[in-house]
């Protein structure tokens, strides 16, 4: 179950997506096909690799390496630029798209292949004071 | 199974495109009518001899595009296929025409691709405010409480294709910002010779690299523009071709391969779409179908929606050795005077990319060179060409065209 009611520093928190698990050790959780092991973050109708219909929750490692990145300078009005978008390959399996945070926006300083670890950050508050929490990666 | 028997091949007997650009006073039907009527005239035929119409437009396919076109240029009651397949829309429309002919249900097909893009930018709709008026409620397949674009990385085109290029760079030495920028330098230079290109201005490598950054390493001059335009081709069966005027037969271009793929499962799909596997498969199948090798190609029109995309497609289309894309552009192999001219039209980057039109415009370009009619930008003696388009989501179409035997 997601820790939708996790309290941290008094504020109620909710993960921005349901494949992010909050708590003492935030991490991502995937749906793993019970037949072939393919990993997914979305609600599934079937396995796109083998067609099987059963899935189990698989917690993923919070550590990984940067397989790709881009520094985005043009975005919708509510998004601060520049930011660093990245494809991270997680140790033990799984690929995820997220921002690299706390590493600046200089392409010379962001290394393809560098090890990173998952961190969380607040990304909005609703009218009831609940804080939405997102995840990113920072150089390990 | 090579489709080299004239009896079974499908032929392009007419081709046309509007110059790509901004045409605020013309709607999709205006643009499509121009391209369609020009292509029919080029084929020395009329809409009244066409057996099937395939009309492609990303924005208008669900709006009876083909039927609205017929109501302007000829309401003959023939079957209409309205086609959408992201940026592969136009080539998919051509495939619909090819399949009708191969099925024996049509002798002559008209395929039109068009897009009137209006004021759409690269970004799509703006994001919502982060504070919800009421409580956050998880919704959708990812249980998200707000739009995550920009928060959990980017899934917009410039960044996705930038990350695709950077992933290639992470695995191969000699590939970086400069190599990607050289692709755009080439395509802008090529476009100066193409009167149908939206932009026709050359830029130095320094100007390309120094332009406003959109999504590193893609600067503004390394991104295709939005624009309006249309392209159309008239297709016929080999049997029909034999009955046509000698001049039409002389100018006919053989479709030696026509392949459409979608993206097969890869593990990295959870991060972003993979644009390489489906391209590799489509190209390999096309070379096999045509009985042609990459070295045989005299020119290639491939899908350079962003400069980073073109570079990885050099390898995906087997134009260079695995890992060799950086070296390929460094030694100017894909320039118009190089081993394998790529995007002598100016590519999407400079010729433009009205989404539904592009997949037909590529075929127009290659066919025009094979006919010896490309004017200032003609690749001399061109006999065999390849076209490639890819729509994110994903769809990839590859065609191989050959000049009619002398």
SS3 per-residue string spanning chain B: CCCCCCCCCEEEEEEEECCCECCCCCCHHHHHHHHHHHHHHHCCCCHHHCCEEEEECCCCHHHCHHHHHHHHHCCCCCCEEEECECECHHHHHHHHHHHHHHCCCCCEEEEEEEECCCCCCCCCCCCCCCCCCCCCCCECCCCECCCCCCCCCCCCHHHHHHHHHHHHHHHCCCCCHHHHHHHHHHHHHHHCCCCCCCCCCCCCHHHHHHCCEEECCEEHHHECCCCEEEEEEEEEEHHHHCCCCHHHHHCCEEEEEEEEEECCCCHHHHCCCCCCHHHHHHHHHHHHHHCCCHHHCCEEECCCCEHHHHHHHHHHCCCCCCCCHHHHHHCCCCCCCCCCCECCCCHHHHHCCCHHHHHHHHHHHHHHHHCCCCHHHCCCCCCEEEEEEEECCCEEEEEEEEECCC
Q: How far is B340 from chain A (nearest CA, A)?
A: 29
pLDDT, mean over chain B: 94
Q: Domain range for residue A130?
A: 7-139
Is A2 inside a domain boundary?
no
In tens, the pLDDT along A15-50 reads 999 999 999 999 999 999 999 999 999 999 999 999
Closest Cα in chain A to B272 = A97
Cα distance from B181 to chain A (closest Cα, Å)? 15
What residues of B are annotated to the active site? 87, 353
ipTM surpassing 0.85: yes
Write out pLDDT tens, residues B33-60.
999 999 999 999 999 999 999 999 999 9
Chain A residues lying within 8 Å of B158, measured CB to CB: 70, 72, 74
- φ, ψ (nearest 5 deg) of residue A50: -120, -5
Give the pLDDT band (50/70/90) at residue B124.
Answer: very low
Token pair recorded at residue B270: 């959870």
> A5: which DSSP letter?
T
pLDDT on residue B121: 57
Q: Do B166 and A112 touch (CB under 8 A)?
A: yes
pLDDT at position A60 is 98
pTM of the prediction?
0.93
Asked which of B5-9, B167-171, B223-227, B270-274 is least confident by mean pLDDT, the reply is B5-9
In the predicted model, is pLDDT for residue B133 greater than 60? no
A120 is a domain residue: yes
Q: What is the mean pLDDT of residues B241-258?
A: 97
Q: What is the mean pLDDT of residues B241-255?
A: 97
Q: Which residue, among A16, A33, A36, would best test binding to B if mutated, counting the most B CBs under 10 Å from its CB?
A: A16
Selection from B125, B221, B136 nearest residue A79 by Cα? B125
pLDDT of A10: 67
The mean pLDDT value for B373-397 works out to 97
Residues of chain A contacting residue B151, judged by C-beta atoms under 8 Å apart:
16, 79, 99, 123, 134
Three-class DSSP labels, B237-292: EHHHHCCCCHHHHHCCEEEEEEEEEECCCCHHHHCCCCCCHHHHHHHHHHHHHHCC
Say yes or no to pLDDT of B129 above 60: no
Give residue-wise pLDDT tens across range A76-110: 888 999 999 999 999 999 999 999 999 999 999 99
Fold of B10-119+225-403: Peroxisomal Thiolase; Chain A, domain 1 (3.40.47)
Residue at A129 is within a domain: yes
> Chain B partners of A104 at a C-beta cutoff of 8 Å?
none
Spell out which residues of chain A touch residue B175, defining contact as CB-CB under 8 Å: none
Average pLDDT over residues B342-357: 98
pLDDT at residue B1 in the model: 32
Beta-carbon separation of B177 and A97 below 8 A? no
Q: Give me the pLDDT at residue A4, please.
A: 47
Q: Residue B6 pLDDT more than 90?
A: no
User: pLDDT for B58-99, tens place per residue?
Assistant: 999 999 999 999 999 999 999 999 999 999 999 999 999 999
Q: Residue B98 pairs with which residues in a beta bridge? A: none
Quick one: closest CA in A to B156, which residue?
A75
Average pLDDT over residues B239-256: 97
Q: Which of B9-13, B121-125, B135-139 has the lowest mean pLDDT?
A: B121-125
Hey, which residues 26-85 in chain A have their CB within 8 Å of chain B? Answer: 30, 38-43, 48-49, 66-79, 82-83, 85
Q: Do A126 and B136 touch (CB under 8 A)?
A: yes
Kindly determine whether residue B215 and residue A71, on different chains, have CB atoms separated by under 8 Å. Answer: yes
- % of chain B residues with pLDDT over 70: 94
Report the pLDDT averaged over residues A107-115: 95
Is the confidence at residue A8, as pLDDT, over 70? no
In this structure, are strands A83-90 and A95-100 parallel, antiparallel, or unpaired? antiparallel
With an 8 Å Cβ cutoff, are B167 and A67 in contact?
Answer: yes
**Domains: count for chain A:** 1
pLDDT band, very low/low/confident/very high, at B405 (cuts 50, 70, 90): confident
- Rounded to a whole number of angstroms, the distance from the CA of A27 to the nearest CA of chain B is 14
Indicate yes or no: CB of B132 within 8 angstroms of CB of A94: no
- Domain-wise residue ranges, chain B: 10-119+225-403
Cβ-based contacts under 8 A for chains A and B: 185
Radius of gyration of chain A measured on its C-alpha atoms = 16
pLDDT at B134: 77
pLDDT exceeds cutoff 70 at A1: no
Residue B298 to chain A, least CA–CA distance (Å): 33
The answer to whether A74 contacts B270, with C-beta atoms less than 8 Å apart, is: no
Tell me whether residue A1 is in a domain: no
Q: Do A17 and B163 touch (CB under 8 A)?
A: no
Search chain B and give the residue with CA nearest A48: B265
């Amino acid at each position: 179950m997601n820790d939708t009611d996790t309290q941290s520093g008094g504020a109620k928190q909710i993960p921005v997506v349901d494949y992010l698990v909050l708590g003492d050790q935030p991490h991502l959780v995937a749906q793993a096909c019970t037949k072939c092991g393919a990993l997914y973050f979305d609600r599934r109708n079937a396995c796109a690799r083998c067609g099987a219909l059963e899935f189990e929750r698989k917690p993923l490692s919070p550590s990984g390496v940067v397989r790709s990145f881009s520094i985005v300078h043009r975005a919708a009005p509510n998004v601060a630029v520049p930011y660093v978008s990245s494809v991270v390959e997680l140790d033990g399996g799984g690929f995820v798209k997220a921002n690299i945070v706390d590493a600046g926006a200089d392409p010379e300083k962001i290394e393809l292949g560098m090890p990173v670890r998952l961190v969380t950050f607040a990304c909005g508050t609703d009218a009831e004071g609940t804080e939405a929490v997102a995840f990113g990666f920072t150089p390990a | 199974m090579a489709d080299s028997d004239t009896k079974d091949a499908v032929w392009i007997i007419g081709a046309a495109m509007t110059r790509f650009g901004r045409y605020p006073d013309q709607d999709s039907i205006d643009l499509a009518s121009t391209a369609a009527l020009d292509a029919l005239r080029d084929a020395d035929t009329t809409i009244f001899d066409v057996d099937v119409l395939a009309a492609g437009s990303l924005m208008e396919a669900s709006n009876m595009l083909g039927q609205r076109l017929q109501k302007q240029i000829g309401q003959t009651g023939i079957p209409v296929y309205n086609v959408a397949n992201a940026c592969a829309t136009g080539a998919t429309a051509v495939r619909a025409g090819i399949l009708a002919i191969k099925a024996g249900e049509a002798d002559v097909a008209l395929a039109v691709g068009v897009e009137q893009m209006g004021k759409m930018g690269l970004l799509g709709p703006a994001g919502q405010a982060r504070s919800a008026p009421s409580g956050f409620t998880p919704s959708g397949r990812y249980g998200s409480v707000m739009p995550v674009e920009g928060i959990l990385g980017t899934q917009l085109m410039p960044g996705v294709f930038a990350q695709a290029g950077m992933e290639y760079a992470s695995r191969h030495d000699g590939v970086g910002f400069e190599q990607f920028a050289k692709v755009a330098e080439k395509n802008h230079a090529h476009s100066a010779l193409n009167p149908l290109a939206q932009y026709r201005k050359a830029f130095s490598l320094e100007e390309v690299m120094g332009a406003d950054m959109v999504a590193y390493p893609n600067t503004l001059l390394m991104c295709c523009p939005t624009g309006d335009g249309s392209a159309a081709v008239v297709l016929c069966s080999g049997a029909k071709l034999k009955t046509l005027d000698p001049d039409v037969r002389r100018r006919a271009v053989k479709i030696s391969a026509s392949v459409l793929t979608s993206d097969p499962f890869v593990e990295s799909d959870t991060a972003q779409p993979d644009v390489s596997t489906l391209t590799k498969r489509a190209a390999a199948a096309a070379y096999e179908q045509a009985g042609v090798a990459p070295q045989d190609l005299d020119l290639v029109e491939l899908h350079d929606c962003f400069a980073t995309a073109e570079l990885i497609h050099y390898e995906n289309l087997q134009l260079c050795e695995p890992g060799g894309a950086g070296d390929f552009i460094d030694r100017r192999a894909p320039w118009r005077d190089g081993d394998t001219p790529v995007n002598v039209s100016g590519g999407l980057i400079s010729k433009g990319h009205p989404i539904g039109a592009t997949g037909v415009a590529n075929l127009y370009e290659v066919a025009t060179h094979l006919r010896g009619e490309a004017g200032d930008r003609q690749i001399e003696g061109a006999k065999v060409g390849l076209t490639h388009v890819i729509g994110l989501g994903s769809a990839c179409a590859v065609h191989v065209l050959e000049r009619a035997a002398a």
